[in-house]
Amino acid sequence: MKAVVLYSPNDFKTVEDYPKPTIGPNDMLLEMKRTAICGTDIRILEGKKTKSVRYGHVIGHEISGVICEVGENVQGYQVGDRVAVENVIPDGSCAMCVSGHDNICLNRKAIGYEFDGGFAEYVLLPQEAIEGGNVVKLSDDVSFGEGALIEPLSCCLRGQKNAGVKFNDVVVIIGAGPIGLMHIILAKAAGARKVIVSELNEFRREKAYECGADIVVNSAEEDLKQIVMNETDGIGADVVLIAIGIPQLVNSNLELVRKTGSVCLFAGFTKGVMAEIDPNLIHYGEINVCGSSAYKRQDYHEAAQMVMSGAVNLKPIITKVFKLEEFQEAYEAVKSGKELKVEIEP
Ligand SMILES: [Zn+2]
| Residue 300 within any structural domain of the chain | no
Quote the pLDDT of residue 272: 85
Same domain flag for 87 and 36: yes
Quote the pLDDT of residue 46: 95
Quote the pLDDT of residue 325: 97
Residue 38 sits in which domain range? 3-149+314-345
| Residue 296 within any structural domain of the chain | no
Chain segment 150-185, per-residue pLDDT in tens: 999 999 999 999 999 999 999 999 999 999 999 999
CA of 93 to the centre of ligand 1 (A): 5
Chain segment 281-336, per-residue pLDDT in tens: 999 999 999 999 999 999 999 999 999 999 999 999 999 999 999 999 999 999 99
Same domain flag for 144 and 179: no
CA of 256 to the centre of ligand 1 (A): 35
Total residues belonging to the chain:
346
CA of 248 to the centre of ligand 1 (A): 32
Answer yes or no: are the C-beta atoms of 153 and 186 closer than 8 Å: yes
The CATH number assigned to the domain holding 197 equals 3.40.50.720
CA of 92 to the centre of ligand 1 (A): 5
CA of 165 to the centre of ligand 1 (A): 26
Same domain flag for 41 and 93: yes
CA of 106 to the centre of ligand 1 (A): 5
Same domain flag for 133 and 24: yes
DSSP character string of 136-192: EEPPTTS-HHHHHTHHHHHHHHHHHHHHT--TT-EEEEE--SHHHHHHHHHHHHTT-
196/228 Cα distance (integer angstroms): 8
- Residue 47 pLDDT exceeds 80: yes
| Residue 331 within any structural domain of the chain | yes
Cβ-based neighbours of 341, under 8 Å, separated by 6 or more? 36, 37, 149, 178, 317, 318, 319
Same domain flag for 208 and 115: no
| Residue 303 within any structural domain of the chain | no
Total domains in the chain come to 2
Quote the pLDDT of residue 268: 85
Chain segment 227-262, per-residue pLDDT in tens: 999 999 999 999 999 999 999 999 999 999 999 999
Same domain flag for 70 and 187: no
Same domain flag for 58 and 16: yes
> Could you say which DSSP state residue 87 is in?
-
- Residue 270 pLDDT exceeds 80: no
Chain segment 71-96, per-residue pLDDT in tens: 999 999 999 999 999 999 999 999 99
Nearest Cα to Cα of residue 37 among 118, 134, 103: 118
232/234 Cα distance (integer angstroms): 5
Same domain flag for 140 and 184: no
Question: How many whole angstroms from its chain centre is CA 71?
Answer: 30
Answer yes or no: are the C-beta atoms of 265 and 290 closer than 8 Å: yes
- Residue 44 pLDDT exceeds 80: yes
| Residue 321 within any structural domain of the chain | yes
- List b or e across 264-274, with b for residues whose CB sees 16 or more CB atoms inside 10 angstroms: bbbbbbeeeee
CA of 130 to the centre of ligand 1 (A): 17
| Residue 92 within any structural domain of the chain | yes
| Residue 305 within any structural domain of the chain | no
CA of 128 to the centre of ligand 1 (A): 13
CA of 66 to the centre of ligand 1 (A): 28
Same domain flag for 236 and 200: yes
Same domain flag for 11 and 96: yes
Same domain flag for 212 and 334: no
Quote the pLDDT of residue 48: 87
CA of 4 to the centre of ligand 1 (A): 29
- Residue 271 pLDDT exceeds 80: no
The CATH number assigned to the domain holding 95 equals 3.90.180.10
CA of 278 to the centre of ligand 1 (A): 34
| Residue 304 within any structural domain of the chain | no
Same domain flag for 7 and 145: yes
Q: Helix, strand or coil for residue 121?
A: coil
Quote the pLDDT of residue 126: 97
Chain segment 3-13, per-residue pLDDT in tens: 999 999 999 99
Q: Helix, strand or coil for residue 325?
A: helix
Chain segment 106-158, per-residue pLDDT in tens: 999 999 999 999 999 999 999 999 999 999 999 999 999 999 999 999 999 99
Alpha-helical (H) ranges within 190-315 are 202-210, 224-231, 249-254, 279-285, 297-309
- Residue 337 pLDDT exceeds 90: no
